[in-house]
């Protein structure tokens, strides 16, 4: 699963409001919309009207904004958060997590799960529900587990897999006592194994060609499974309707229909106000103001597993100099950036200290503050020492080259513009000229994949609670997902060594230690996280700010 889904800030904002709070004079505290005192952690609260299955009425329609993306396979490197959410409505959901990250097994797919460690190697035995079949009649058995592993383990580079982490530690997937049992053997121990099998690939979808191309603007409901299947998939409008699946063997879906309508965020707010949508994100203070107090609706707000960072392209000519990267980070008042992003939102949290764990999670440490202090005067000294001298117009120079750094800004979002302007204002006094380069949201993948940026602000949404699993994806120098290009083989070795620690608590301690070292590359600066805030029609059950919880489709509906 692509559990850390990268998106440009403008697109993430359309999914979830994030906010930070209370400015400190040093710039090292929390930021946001005022008020006294700063909490020690971001919100870990969930707010989604949890309702037992038997108290949800049969029937009704649930309509929200959403559409399929170009690539609908969530395992693919180009899969996105949107693709993952749509996928879950017509494909298997065997493993989910509670809001705070406890593992939950779905008995409609898994009748038994056993985990053991012998001789230092972990074995996971999954016994699959005897009734479980894909919609085309193919049994969901050990071959589906093996197909999912084979496509994602990196042994065949032609599979454009999002991440091989974890899958590459599996040495084999074999048939157990019968076809309905899969025996998964690991090299060493992998505590976060549930994140690997959140869903199953149909064996037919696990060929190179199908894995990479079959789900491009196509659904393939025949390879899916679950209480719902595709009713209408309109590639022209981008609208999708899911209906009850007559081939489903498990707990019946409560809704008659689940509808996604393809709308921009501003249009979505208006559609919700007109009663056309049942649920909408409050993307900023203005939309929250419009949505508050609407008759028959309520605001649901809670914690958010989003992390937004400023990425430095270490392969660009000017940012190849670590001293320049460090000086830029020292010049950025993260408190002010967060305050701009979330002005008018009533929320507080400390500034983020990690790119892999959230402050509401067990084992979190503020690794950023351990290696970086906000200090423009120190930044000037660092640039002086590196040979960058102030020029006549205040912009520093070295060897006839001016210290000009590009900042790639996608879209026409007002908050994005304000953030870019603030960064330029922060860097100017230390002698760095920020050159703002405009692009379209559609350019996101191209900019990331080809590193066409100096500085770029983007975010990740964690789909599971095992942030320590993604240390390599974030920081290893030989991973495409490390968009900064920073790191070294020596650091990569230390990062990969953390995956061999059996105890999750001890592994987290090691990850914090190594992340401090990775952050001293000064190539990634976590900026803000924040809450998820939504306006929802009253009576809508199991929908809202769920943190790591993805409610099973059959449990979503309207209270009796």
Whichever domain contains 199, its CATH number is 3.90.76.10
Tell me: do 88 and 31 sit in the same domain: no
Let me know if residue 400 belongs to a domain: yes
| Whether residues 330 and 197 fall in one domain | no
Q: Which helix (H) or strand (E) holds 397?
A: strand 396-398
DSSP states of 77-134: TT--HHHHHHHTTTS---EEE-TT--EEE-TTTEEEEEEEEETTEEEEEEEEPTT-B-
Is 138 in the same domain as 21?
A: no
* Residue after which a domain boundary falls, among 237, 258, 281: 237
Burial 469-508 (b: 16+ CB within 10 A, else e): bbbbbbbbbebebbbbbbbeeebbebbbebbebeeeeebb
- Six token digits for residue 116: 């053991």
Number of domains making up the chain? 2
Phi, psi for residue 162 in degrees, rounded to 5: -65, -50
For residue 45, count CB atoms less than 10 angstroms from its CB and return exposed for 0-12, middle for 13-18, buried for 19 or more. middle
Where a domain ends, among 183, 218, 237?
237
Domain boundary among 237, 265, 288: 237
Q: Assess if residue 542 is contained within a domain.
A: no
Tell me, yes or no, whether 319 and 418 share the same domain: yes
- 3-state SS track over 452-471: CCCEEEEEEEECCCCHHHHH
pTM of the model: 0.81
Whether residues 85 and 42 share a domain: the answer is no
What whole-number distance in Å separates Cα of residue 263 and Cα of residue 241? Answer: 15
Domain assignment present for 497? yes
CATH number at residue 505: 3.10.105.10
Asked whether residue 144 falls in the same domain as residue 12, the answer is: no
Residues 40 and 106 in one domain: no
| 505 occurs within a structural domain | yes
Per-residue pLDDT 10s for the chain (560 aa) are 334 445 444 433 333 332 222 222 233 444 444 444 567 777 778 999 999 999 999 999 999 999 888 899 999 988 888 888 999 999 999 999 999 889 999 999 999 999 999 988 999 999 999 999 999 999 999 999 999 999 999 999 999 998 888 999 999 999 999 999 999 999 988 888 999 999 999 999 999 999 999 999 999 999 999 999 999 999 889 999 999 999 999 999 999 999 999 988 789 999 999 999 999 998 778 889 999 999 999 999 988 888 999 999 999 999 999 999 999 999 999 999 988 887 877 777 789 999 999 998 889 999 999 999 999 999 999 999 999 999 999 999 999 999 999 999 987 778 889 999 999 999 999 999 999 998 877 778 788 878 889 999 988 888 889 989 889 989 999 988 899 999 999 999 999 999 888 788 899 999 999 999 999 999 999 999 877 899 999 999 999 999 999 999 999 999 99
Indicate whether 451 belongs to any domain. Answer: yes
Q: Domain range holding 323?
A: 8-46+304-532
Q: Do 116 and 180 fall within a single domain?
A: yes
Q: Is residue 246 included in any domain, yes or no?
A: no
Confirm whether 157 is domain-assigned: yes
Residue 309 covered by a domain: yes
Query: Do 358 and 479 have their domain in common?
Result: yes
Domain co-membership, 333 together with 408: yes
Are residues 468 and 325 part of one domain? yes
Regarding whether 410 and 311 lie in a shared domain, the answer is yes
d(CA 471, CA 193): 15
């Amino acid at each position: 699963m692509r559990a850390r889904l990268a998106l440009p800030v403008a697109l993430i904002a359309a999914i979830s409001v994030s906010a930070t709070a209370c400015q400190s004079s040093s710039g090292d505290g929390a930021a946001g919309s005022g008020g006294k005192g700063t909490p020690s952690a971001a919100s870990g609260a969930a707010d989604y009207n949890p309702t037992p299955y038997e108290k949800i009425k049969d029937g009704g329609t649930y309509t929200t904004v959403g559409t399929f993306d170009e690539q609908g396979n969530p395992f693919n490197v180009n899969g996105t958060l949107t693709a993952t959410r749509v996928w879950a409505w017509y494909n298997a959901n065997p493993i989910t997590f509670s809001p705070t990250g406890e593992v939950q097994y779905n008995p409609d797919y898994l009748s038994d799960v056993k985990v053991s460690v012998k001789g230092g190697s972990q074995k996971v035995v999954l016994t699959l529900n005897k009734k479980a079949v894909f919609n085309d009649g193919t049994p969901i058995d050990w071959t589906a587990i093996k197909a999912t592993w084979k496509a994602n383990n990196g042994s065949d580079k032609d599979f454009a897999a999002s991440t091989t982490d974890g899958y590459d530690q599996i040495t084999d997937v074999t048939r157990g006592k019968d076809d309905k049992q899969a025996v998964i053997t690991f090299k060493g121990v992998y505590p976060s194994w549930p994140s690997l099998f959140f869903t199953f690939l149909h064996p037919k979808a696990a060929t190179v060609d199908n894995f990479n191309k079959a789900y491009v603007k196509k659904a393939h409901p025949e390879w899916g499974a679950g209480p719902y299947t595709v009713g209408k998939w309109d590639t022209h409008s981008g609208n999708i309707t899911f209906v009850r699946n007559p081939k489903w063997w498990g707990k019946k879906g409560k809704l008659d229909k689940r509808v996604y309508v393809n709308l921009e965020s501003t249009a979505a707010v208006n559609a919700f106000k007109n009663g056309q949508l049942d649920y909408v994100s409050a993307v900023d203070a203005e939309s929250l103001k419009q949505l508050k107090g609407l008759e028959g609706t309520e605001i649901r707000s809670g914690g958010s597993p989003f992390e937004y960072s400023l990425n430095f392209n270490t392969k660009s000519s000017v940012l190849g100099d670590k001293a320049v990267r460090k000086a830029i980070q020292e010049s950025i008042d993260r408190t002010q950036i967060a305050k701009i992003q979330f002005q008018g939102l009533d929320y507080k949290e400390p500034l983020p200290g990690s790119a892999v764990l959230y402050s509401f999670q067990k084992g979190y440490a503020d690794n950023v503050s351990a290696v970086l202090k906000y200090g423009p005067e120190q930044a000037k000294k660092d640039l002086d020492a590196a040979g960058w001298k102030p020029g006549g117009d205040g912009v520093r120079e070295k060897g006839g080259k001016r210290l000009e750094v590009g900042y790639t800004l996608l879209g026409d979002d007002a908050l994005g513009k304000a953030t870019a302007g603030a960064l330029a204002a922060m860097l100017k006094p230390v002698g760095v000229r920020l050159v703002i380069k405009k692009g379209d949201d559609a350019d996101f993948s191209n900019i990331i994949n080809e590193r066409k940026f100096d500085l770029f602000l983007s975010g990740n949404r964690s789909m599971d609670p095992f942030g320590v699993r993604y240390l390599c994806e974030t920081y290893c120098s030989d991973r495409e997902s490390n968009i900064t290009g920073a790191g070294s083989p020596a650091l990569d070795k230390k990062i990969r060594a953390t995956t061999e620690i059996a105890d999750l608590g001890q592994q987290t301690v090691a990850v914090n230690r190594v992340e401090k070292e990775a952050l001293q590359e000064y190539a990634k600066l976590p900026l803000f996280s924040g809450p998820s805030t939504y306006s929802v029609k009253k009576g809508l059950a199991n929908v809202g700010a769920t943190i790591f919880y993805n409610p099973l489709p059959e449990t979503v509906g309207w209270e009796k």
